[in-house]
Amino acid sequence: MAPIPGDAEISPHNWGAEQARLYAESGGTEGTTFEGAPCLLMDYVGRRSGTVRRTVLIYGRDGEDYLIVGSKGGSPTHPHWYLNIVAQPDVRIQVGTQRFPARAETLSPEEKARVWPTLVELYAPYEEYDQRIERDIPVVRLRRTDG
């Protein structure tokens, strides 16, 4: 696993760019929720540019792991961050004031079915997005890699 170098720039494709900036600049003490749901910051490497980008995402938990949803607000296409972490799954995340490396893995259909109700409970619009679009909305596990 290659560590993500340096600092990251806020993704230009991010619905929450201002929130991501607030989250990062406050050291993880502000901007940590969206409509009551907990949020994390994720730094990832652009598959074409090689640029380290940052996005803010709602997350759920599955044991020690973090779960994020590639809903893109119900868009018919996957979010850019998802395409990038499929190509390069080593990421850096910040949850509150803690920053650490993690590895991203898309859940299997069976695993997604198990955790989906919990994610919808956390952020109800996911269910509406899922019913409105034809693509399968990916759920990604972020597993801490620094022990």
pLDDT 10s digits, 98-126: 999 999 999 999 999 999 999 999 999 99
Q: Which residues pair with 43 in a beta bridge?
A: 54, 92
pLDDT tens-digit map of 42-95: 999 999 998 999 999 999 999 999 999 999 999 999 999 999 999 999 999 999
SS3 16: coil
pLDDT of 5 over the 60 cut: no
pLDDT of 24 over the 60 cut: yes
The H-or-E segment that residue 119 falls in is helix 109-122
Which of 14 and 146 is assigned the larger pLDDT? Answer: 146
Quote the CA–CA distance of 93 and 111 in Å, as a whole number. Answer: 22
